[in-house]
Amino acid sequence: MLELIRAVAAPCGLEPSSRLATRPSTLIGRILAVPALSLLVSTLALSQAPTAAAADTPPEASTSGMPVSLGPRPYFLVDDMDEDNAQSADLKARLEQCAANRTSFERSDFSIGHRGAPMMFPEHTREAYLAGARMGAGVLECDVAFTADKELVCRHSQCDLHGTTNILQTPLAEQCAVPPEYDDNGKLTNAADVQCCTSDITLAQFKTLEGRMDGVNPEADTLEGYLAGNPAWRTELYADRGTLMSHAESIELFKSLGVKMTPELKTPSVDMPFDGMSQQDYAQKMIDEYSAAGVGPDDVYPQSFLLDDVRYWIDNTEFGDQAVYLDDRDLKPEFDVSDPATWSPSMQELADQGVKILAPPMWMLLAEGDDPERPIVPSVYAEQAKAAGLELIAWSFERSAPLVDDGAWYHQTIDGVVNNDGDKMVALDVMARDVGVKAVFSDWPASVSFYANCMAEELDL
């Protein structure tokens, strides 16, 4: 390994001195401080790694390129679990036993890194993706938007650059769809309306930006105040470096990490066709980048909130079997999660159109039960989806602020029985054990990875 490190270091002016030669860790540290060299070393190391059989380790360990490290968060959640009902107390005991006895953890496809690990890292950045992989996520997500020159990049929304990057602190702010405006005294006058889109700039310009923790203050009258909108519980500890990525770059990174991929084709914020690119062209272009990178359909779960996108992939590509329909039918005014008559299309109609995987927000899958010893149960929605033969993926665990006497948006259907963060683990257990979800998105994948490792044999995760 040291010879490999030296081979990378020499052309970059990092040839080890006699002191470094006797302390390889110092040389490695200097190399890994350079992102491009770090990725190169990881890739070369993978190419020279022994096979699973030769190393006598599981195949996952030999291809992942880095060990799984969960940190204290999962244990905090377990410690915070209630013991005043059998549902929570029994699960807490099993998870405590796992925590006490398990010495190592593995990646799990049950754990999906939602935008990487955005509870603490700028979303959709290289740093967030690395954190998600290190926390055991077996699948990572790149939300896919397009630039002015029709190149694909990783952003949660086509028009979120004002909140998720430093664009307003650069000259590119002038190119924004709705740039910031100031009065004669230098006060920001249109904070609520500022909007910067990936389609406002080219890929080359996009790559000059840096990711930041998402959050703005739309009532601010200064740029500094506007950008100080990140909720405190998400922290700024890791926000001083956020490397933006094109979609193609994310594919190469995910390949080097040995994880599967779930790109979401973002609903355009501009009229389509865009400069001659139709919605179908856009959907196909995303798939083409996986084919060009040599990534097969079994390793990709393409997603969209637009049913037509999902049906396009099903009807026209080899990637349709794992296409995911992201459910936002709750946005329709007539929708009632407890009344199937208000769901359009119905679960069976989705299945008849070829949809195999449905991904709703967590709250749609959960309900409050009548038994005080089992306060959280599967919803009618979950039962109907299973009856139609649909597989389920839930979003997004650890997305909410601390749950003190409040279920917040992601736990709204169980608000009456949620009073602390430990209740998240009970909700996760119901989704895995009783609903049978195949995976869960998380803003802090370590929590889901911990659960998946502890329950892998019992629930076949």
Closest CA to 339 of 379, 303, 302, 300: 379
Q: List the structure tokens of 397.
A: 């665990």
Q: List the structure tokens of 214.
A: 């998402």
Per-residue pLDDT band for 407 (boundaries 50, 70, 90) equals: confident
Q: What is the pLDDT of residue 65?
A: 63
The radius of gyration of the chain from alpha carbons, rounded to an integer in Å, stands at: 23
In the 8-state DSSP scheme, what is residue 361? B
> What are the backbone dihedrals phi and psi of residue 20, each rounded to the nearest 5 degrees, phi first?
-65, -35
Mean pLDDT of 181-188: 97
241-295 confidence digits (pLDDT tens) = 999 999 999 999 999 999 999 999 999 999 999 999 999 999 999 999 999 999 9
CA distances (Å), origin 297, targets 210, 289, 294? 31, 12, 10
Closest CA to 289 of 324, 254, 248: 248
Mean pLDDT of 296-321: 98
Higher pLDDT: 12 or 441? It is: 441
State the number of CA atoms in the 13 A half-sphere of 13 facing the CB: 1
Query: Per-residue pLDDT for 445 more than 70?
Result: yes
Contact 359, 393 (CB under 8 A): yes
Contact 187, 226 (CB under 8 A): no
49-104 confidence digits (pLDDT tens) = 333 333 333 333 333 468 999 999 999 999 999 999 999 999 999 999 999 999 99
Q: What is the pLDDT of residue 282?
A: 98
> What are the backbone dihedrals phi and psi of residue 153, each rounded to the nearest 5 degrees, phi first?
-135, 165
Q: What is the pLDDT of residue 20?
A: 34
Q: What is the pLDDT of residue 49?
A: 39
The 10 Å Cβ neighbour count of residue 349 is 12
Contact 264, 161 (CB under 8 A): no
Query: Per-residue pLDDT for 173 more than 70?
Result: yes
Query: Per-residue pLDDT for 323 more than 60?
Result: yes
